[in-house]
Structure 1
Amino acid sequence: MTISEQPAGFWSYVHADNDAEDGRVLRLCERIEAEYSLITGNEIHMFVDRDDISWGGRWRETIDDALAATTFFIPIVTARYLKRPECRRELIQFAQHAERRGVKELLLPILYTVVPNLKEDSDDEVNAIVASTQYEDWTALRLEDEQGPLYRAAVNKLALRLAEIADTISERPEVLTAVAEDAALTEEVSDDAPGLLDDMAEVEVLFPTWTKTIETLSSEITEIGDLFTDYAPKLGTAGRSSGAAAKLAVARRLASELDPMADRILDTATEYADQALRMDSAISGILLNIADDFSNVGDDGEFEKFAEGIRGLRDGGEKAVQGLDGMNDSAQRAGSMSRDLRKPLAKISRALQRFMDGQGLFDEWVRRIDAIEAARG
């Protein structure tokens, strides 16, 4: 492996987790870098701060291009990590990117604490992605003495694994899947296989479906907001007139009406995220193709139509996220009134999380469209 081919990595973590561990999360990164250099004679550079300009630049290169370089993504998975929108967005984007390139091994999670529902058939796409990898279990090791033999051996094992993956991938030909596994876009390669404009048209067919999903979500947000508005005076009156028992009874009635609404909004948000995830491979392939050579499009008007459609969906989704976020904040304040309310409110929180997962992909597509247009002047 030449110097130019030496690997790099994104060390993705939550600052609060590192603080809670008195800096052990970042020290683990430093130890792995040092151990990798010791056993291979080569360097591996880890980008550790997503707010740093070097992280952003390298991230865009990695996600936008089919790079010959080997770049790992190492998320430090904790319960807090799985709740952070930016962490979830990065993990989903990298997983999709690695899938397109045929290098899934470059996603190497470290399970730092025990988290619930970590299984491949989880209804949470991030949990399912992590569970589907050969993650490193650090839940017991993080409690070991950093200078002790068990901890040092585990660092060595992880560094060896990174080196083995890097060597394996360096000998593998570069691939880039430009079409999705979605049946609507899968064709046998032949003389009459679809071209780029055909692929763009296939994606555009789904625009009304996405628009309908966003409209449904907005309607459901309004419905839940109206329910809380209706119950607010009832809860206030109950609290003043009859004490906690009456207030609890009202809260329970609210919970019974809210629960089916929460189920519906969770289903809608999950559908939105699933639609975006299914189409990410196709849309990213299209954008990579165009970024490589705009003449592949052959029709400026078609690209403008495609870009306008993606932007419109992104903007509509952004408004829905703002509405869902605001409604969620208001709803969560009511959670302290009754245990009965916590179940539907947890579903609403998960709905917000799912919708933001899908919205993150739309944001990324628009960023890449902006880059294409800026490059063209």
Structure 2
Amino acid sequence: MTTSEEPAGFWSYVHADNDAEHGRILRLCQLIEAEYSLITGNEIHMFVDRTDIGWGDKWRKTIDDALAATTFFIPIVTARYLQRTECRRELIQFSKHAERRGVKELLLPILYSAVSDLEENSEDEVEAIIASTQYENWTALRLEEEHSAKYRTSINKLALRLAEIAETIAERPEIIDVGSEIDLLDDEDADNAPGILDSMAEVEELFPVWTKTIETLTSEINEIGDIFTEYAPQMQSAGQAGRSAGASAKLAVARRLAGELNPIADRIISTGSQYADQTLRMDGAISGILLSVANDSTYDRDGFKTFATGIRQLRDAGEKAIHALDGVHESAQNVGSMSRDLRKPLGKIARAIQRFTDGQGLFDEWVRRIDEIEG
């Protein structure tokens, strides 16, 4: 089997997972590279270290260029991977990029250890994305000896799958921009198709919706802060009692606090999910606008400036809200250690931060591309 081009890939993993596996995760990458070369006669270069300049340069080119060569994204999914902000951000960005180009197969997760709630209807955006792919289940294989026939057969199967996907995509017509199909229309339809300014105006209509979501989150953060302020003296007073009586009194206060925090934590999770959902749904349109503007030196600079300013203001407001939520959560951790009743609402707040950060990552990427265009 041969392919017409030499693909590349991003091997996305958590270093702590590789350390826990005594280097097996990186060796798995090397074995796949070698097997791919053996069965195709071509090379596949895996970028493995996101701190390396090569990763950053290739990553930006892949995400920014609609005509990029065949480039896989292979996340090594573990419980720890799903907790890493940078890993989640990369997976979401690549997923949306592959969707725009009509090459979803280039996202090829390897489920390295079992994780809970890996379902397409999961409230966690990253878990839902992974579940929607034909991921490779490595949860049992990782326990096999690396030189065993079963392990080597699985390496061969994975390399074959990469080669087949690369070959299939090489023969598929390139989709320049899923968000803007004007090039595929006939003259009459093209005249009626929305232009860049029309597309920007449509997106700008959603700015107040995003602003409202951020304002809601800010209000909920303040509400949590007020509750902690109210309960702080009660906790301090309870701690001044004798050892046995003090513990019972503090537990009672902690349980009342948990009861008040729970409904607010549920609302914050809903707000965080709403924010992530809003950004994920609009990524195609916004990325299409940015790609079109980047490729058109005659674009309306004043119109784009207004659009860019709006995106930056939303990014800054979201960043401010996340910092405030982080601060509340960090302060609450000390109180949370006193009672397991408090762990539930604090866990919800942590998940809300994660979901809000998922959406914020796309805003950061849009602003980076805007900076490049204006620069």
TM bin (shorter chain) = over 0.9
* Superposition deviation, residue 93 in structure 1: 0.3
Partner of 2:225: 225
**Which amino acid in 1 is paired with 2:49?**
D
* Superposition deviation, residue 357 in structure 1: 0.2
CA contact (8 A) 2:9 2:47 kept: yes
Partner of 2:277: 274
**Which amino acid in 2 is paired with 1:256?**
G
Partner of 1:304: 305
CA contact (8 A) 1:102 1:176 kept: no
CA contact (8 A) 2:40 2:163 kept: yes
**Which amino acid in 2 is paired with 1:269?**
G
TM-score, structure 1 as length reference: 0.94
Instruction: Give the match's secondary structure for 1:243.
Output: helix
Q: 1:284 to 1:102 in 2, by over 3 A?
A: same
Bigger mean CA offset, 124-133 vs 241-250:
241-250
* Superposition deviation, residue 245 in structure 1: 1.1
Q: How many residues align?
A: 366
How far, CA to CA, are the matches of 2:195 and 2:323 in structure 1? 37
Instruction: Give the match's secondary structure for 1:162.
Output: helix
Instruction: Give the match's secondary structure for 1:43.
Output: coil
Instruction: Map 1:280-295 to 2 at 5 A.
Output: 280-295=283-298
Instruction: Map 1:24-39 to 2 at 5 A.
Output: 24-39=24-39
CA contact (8 A) 2:8 2:45 kept: yes
How far, CA to CA, are the matches of 2:322 and 2:344 in structure 1? 21
Answering whether residue 262 of structure 2 is matched by residue 259 of structure 1, we say yes
* Superposition deviation, residue 176 in structure 1: 3.4
* Superposition deviation, residue 213 in structure 1: 1.0
* Superposition deviation, residue 269 in structure 1: 1.1
How far, CA to CA, are the matches of 2:68 and 2:237 in structure 1? 66
How far, CA to CA, are the matches of 1:220 and 1:178 in structure 2? 37
CA contact (8 A) 1:63 1:94 kept: yes
**Which amino acid in 1 is paired with 2:305?**
E
Partner of 2:316: 315
Partner of 2:343: 342
Partner of 1:93: 93
How far, CA to CA, are the matches of 1:180 and 1:125 in structure 2? 25
TM-score, structure 2 as length reference: 0.95
Partner of 2:45: 45
Partner of 2:252: 249
Answering whether residue 371 of structure 2 is matched by residue 370 of structure 1, we say yes
Deviations 1:154-189 (A, max 9, x none): 1010000000000000000110344289xxxxxx95
CA contact (8 A) 1:273 1:354 kept: yes
Instruction: Give the match's secondary structure for 1:319.
Output: helix
Answering whether residue 358 of structure 2 is matched by residue 353 of structure 1, we say no
**Which amino acid in 2 is paired with 1:121?**
N
**Which amino acid in 2 is paired with 1:360?**
G
CA contact (8 A) 1:76 1:111 kept: yes
* Superposition deviation, residue 314 in structure 1: 0.5
Answering whether residue 152 of structure 2 is matched by residue 149 of structure 1, we say no
Runs of 4+ displaced beyond 6 Å: 1-4
**Which amino acid in 1 is paired with 2:258?**
A
How far, CA to CA, are the matches of 2:150 and 2:309 in structure 1? 55
Bigger mean CA offset, 232-241 vs 272-281:
232-241
- What's the % identity of the aligned pairs? 73
**Which amino acid in 1 is paired with 2:207?**
F
Instruction: Give the match's secondary structure for 2:240.
Output: helix
**Which amino acid in 1 is paired with 2:124?**
D
Deviations 1:80-119 (A, max 9, x none): 0001000000000000000000000000000000000000
Deviations 1:131-152 (A, max 9, x none): 0000000000000000111111
Answering whether residue 325 of structure 2 is matched by residue 324 of structure 1, we say yes
Partner of 2:184: none
Q: 1:60 to 1:2 in 2, by over 3 A?
A: farther
**Which amino acid in 1 is paired with 2:225?**
G
How far, CA to CA, are the matches of 1:190 and 1:261 in structure 2? 49
CA contact (8 A) 1:178 1:284 kept: no
Deviations 1:256-305 (A, max 9, x none): 0001111111111111111000000000000011111132x3x2110000
Which structure 1 segments of 5+ residues have no match?
Answer: 182-187
Partner of 1:184: none
Q: 1:290 to 1:49 in 2, by over 3 A?
A: same
* Superposition deviation, residue 4 in structure 1: 8.6
